[in-house]
Structure 1
Amino acid sequence: MEWKASKRFTSPFGPLNLSPQATSELEALSEVFMTDSVRTYERFLLDENRQVDGERWKFMYEKDDVRSYAEHAKFSLPAPGVEASHRSRSHSSSTSDLPIVLVTGTIEGDLDDTIYGFVCPTLDMMRIKTSYIQDTMYRACVLASLIYPTVEDPFRSVSIKWIEKGQPLHVRAVIKNRDFVYMEATGVRYLRNGERVGCQLVHSVQFPETPTRNSAIRGNMSMSAIYRQRDNNVVDVFLKGFLNPAGGLTRSIITRSAAKALLSVSKNVHCAQMKKLAWSQYFFTRNGIGAYG
């Protein structure tokens, strides 16, 4: 059992050795994408008054006070960011007909707790988050950490990760697992009206050291999320992007899968609470302090 648990969070690739130039380019790319996502959210919040255009977006799913929408095919454009200047490391699959998914709504909690829930630059944090998000993750690992959170900037992080999404056992012989190599970045920004928001970016990248594997089909994704304290204990959520598991699946299957999967943002606050609890237990155990002092 210990070996299986260890393998679940072990990289199937060789070491990812990024040059200083490559690291700098990836960090700059994350800044560009997060700046663009803030501007998109500002238009939605300040110019469109948080109203979803029913002509453009089709309602898909709802969980608590968070709703997901899929863009109608006639509005489809090349997915954001995939054809960026970082093309040499971006996934090369065509994205011209991928459905864009929009997630909006509110979740209960504090903005800082929400941000802390999705900041996950290390393997230990990834394990904790995975155990409470309860998605379809089969295997995952951190390939490289470019920027770690600091005391001065506790929510800023940039890392390269790999994740394999698993299929139920009874269909695994027919449908292969999907895996993704991606950059994940988090941070804090300010809107043009001075409001503070949390930012999260997930964007597929590719390196010579991370080739496709026979046991899985390499997918492609690009998503950005913005979180804002709307009222006391109420956080606004805005997420936009695409998730393409590849492998010849139809547009409707991809759309439903992405629209349902992205509703997991509602679990960030719970994840933050569990991370705090795990850290407290670690601190007390390390220092030989009983649970009640």
Structure 2
Amino acid sequence: MPHTKNGVVMPTLELERHDAQMMQELAANLIQQNLERYSELAVTPDGHPDTRSWASIQKREGIRVYKESNFQQQQQIKAQAATGNGSVKTVKVPPSMLLMGTVKGNLDDVLYATAASTTEAMLTKSKFTDDGVVDAKVLARIVEPTMADPMHFLNVTWRYFTLSEPRDFVCLDVAGWGNTARGEQVAYHLIHSVGFDALPTFEHKGIARVNMSVCWIFRQRTPTLVECYARGYYDFDTTNAMLNSISMHNIASQWLSCVKLISHAQNMKLARLLNRGKGVISSDDSESDSGDSGYGGNSYNPAGKGTGYSMQSLLQTFPLPRRRFGSIPNVDNVFESERGTSVSSAWPMQCAAKLVLWRERISFRLLNLSRFGNFSMRFNVIYTFRS
């Protein structure tokens, strides 16, 4: 069924076998090239790129976004034309951008939040992370996630942005696990523009179809810190310096949404737990799965590796806050007093919802919303399942 939003209808895409094979080969080559660039990037001892090549333009928490410091010179590169009169022409060079920094969390959670392999998951991710995507759709699924490799997929996707000016992108979208030249395990997410004659453009609606190529790479630097890296370019109009600057800063803001990936992963974990209304959670890490794929259409379980979540792991993900006075009563005692039974036995989903509602009720005013992120939406999900 066509995807309709803001008057834009983007149809699905039917790929021939040889086209799908070409997409897989292109993705493999691009991933290899980006992993090599990642390994070869020169950084200072404190983890910053060479300031002679990169200039910082935005920062959020532990993440910085840079642009090539010599971009103004690069866009004026002149190449000898193939004409006989010796004339020259100006070659447009897309601005290259770089993101580096760290976020608190683990690599599994980062890839869990990053790898949105369905339309629903793409839209959910955009809603939680505020990455600037107004609309999105999976146009073709070339490689789908499997039980053996649930985070690996290869799709053709469409994204629509309205920051600075309306633009849309048709891209090869691939995520999964990889290794650097030094043998370090990394997670990657590549988004690279591709073109298909069968897909319409929306220039008559004022939406420019532009090109981009961005590769995200994540590595577990310490047990509690994940290194974030992204590098790429956006081929927008290079003749208007002011518009270029606005566009670049908007893109930098979109990239900095990666600081919310861990929070998004935690939201999906909790929603997945509550969405299993037919399952029963026990304190011994066992759960009878009802077969739901979880919120956002991603069935991957980074903590349990497919075994489900226990309340112990839930409390580790969402620790009970400490009040400025007194002490928090023991969770077991709370449920014994309210239900008259022990938490050590298997208990239904209503108890899980009650636990989080109890936490919200006694300490709502003390919550740091910037730390927990999207708590109001998380509470709405909980309340829906509880009622």
Normalised by the shorter chain, which TM-score bucket?
0.7 to 0.9
Q: Distance in 2 between matches of 1:26 and 1:249?
A: 33
**CA displacement at 1:23 relative to structure 2:** 0.5
Give the RMSD, CA atoms, in angstroms: 2.8
Q: How does 1:97-136 map to 2 (within 5 A)?
A: 97-136=93-132
Q: Is the CA contact (8 Å cut-off) linking 2:140 and 2:156 kept in structure 1?
A: yes
When residues 162 and 11 of structure 1 are mapped into structure 2, their CA distance, relative to the original with a 3 A threshold, is farther
Task: Provide the residue aligned with 1:90 in structure 2.
Answer: none
1:45-68 deviation line (CA, Å, top 9, x unaligned):
7x8764411111111010000001
Q: Is the CA contact (8 Å cut-off) linking 1:14 and 1:209 kept in structure 2?
A: no
Q: Is the CA contact (8 Å cut-off) linking 2:101 and 2:228 kept in structure 1?
A: yes
Task: Provide the residue aligned with 2:258 in structure 1.
Answer: 265
- What amino acid maps onto 1:98 in structure 2? P
Greater RCO between the two (CA within 8 Å, min separation 6)?
1
Q: How does 1:173-212 map to 2 (within 5 A)?
A: 176-212=165-201
Q: Does 1:165 align with 2:161?
A: yes
Q: Distance in 2 between matches of 1:7 and 1:57?
A: 40
- What amino acid maps onto 1:273 in structure 2? Q
Q: Which moved more, 1:107-116 or 1:13-22?
A: 13-22
When residues 112 and 11 of structure 1 are mapped into structure 2, their CA distance, relative to the original with a 3 A threshold, is farther
SS of match in other structure, 2:198: coil
Q: Is the CA contact (8 Å cut-off) linking 2:130 and 2:254 kept in structure 1?
A: no
**CA displacement at 1:128 relative to structure 2:** 1.8
**CA displacement at 1:219 relative to structure 2:** 2.0
Q: Is the CA contact (8 Å cut-off) linking 1:228 and 1:235 kept in structure 2?
A: yes
Q: Does 1:15 align with 2:74?
A: no
CA radius of gyration, larger in: 2
Q: Distance in 1 between matches of 2:166 and 2:238?
A: 10
When residues 276 and 261 of structure 1 are mapped into structure 2, their CA distance, relative to the original with a 3 A threshold, is same
**CA displacement at 1:127 relative to structure 2:** 2.6
Task: Provide the residue aligned with 2:134 in structure 1.
Answer: 138
Q: Distance in 2 between matches of 1:11 and 1:279?
A: 31
Q: Distance in 1 between matches of 2:156 and 2:118?
A: 10
So what's the TM-score if we normalise by structure 2? Answer: 0.62
Task: Provide the residue aligned with 1:66 in structure 2.
Answer: 63
Gaps of 5+ in 1: 1-5, 79-93, 168-174
Percent identity for Structure 1 against Structure 2: 25
SS of match in other structure, 1:12: strand
Gaps of 5+ in 2: 77-89, 280-289, 293-347, 353-387
Q: 1:291 aligns with which of 332, 339, 350?
A: 350
- What amino acid maps onto 2:214 in structure 1? M
SS of match in other structure, 1:291: helix
**CA displacement at 1:131 relative to structure 2:** 1.6
Q: 2:215 aligns with which of 224, 234, 245?
A: 224
So what's the TM-score if we normalise by structure 1? Answer: 0.81
Q: Is the CA contact (8 Å cut-off) linking 1:101 and 1:258 kept in structure 2?
A: no
SS of match in other structure, 1:242: strand
Q: Which moved more, 1:189-198 or 1:30-39?
A: 189-198
Q: Distance in 2 between matches of 1:74 and 1:33?
A: 26
Q: Distance in 1 between matches of 2:180 and 2:278?
A: 41
Q: 2:147 aligns with which of 151, 156, 166?
A: 151
Q: How does 1:243-262 map to 2 (within 5 A)?
A: 243-246=234-237, 249-250=240-241, 251-262=244-255
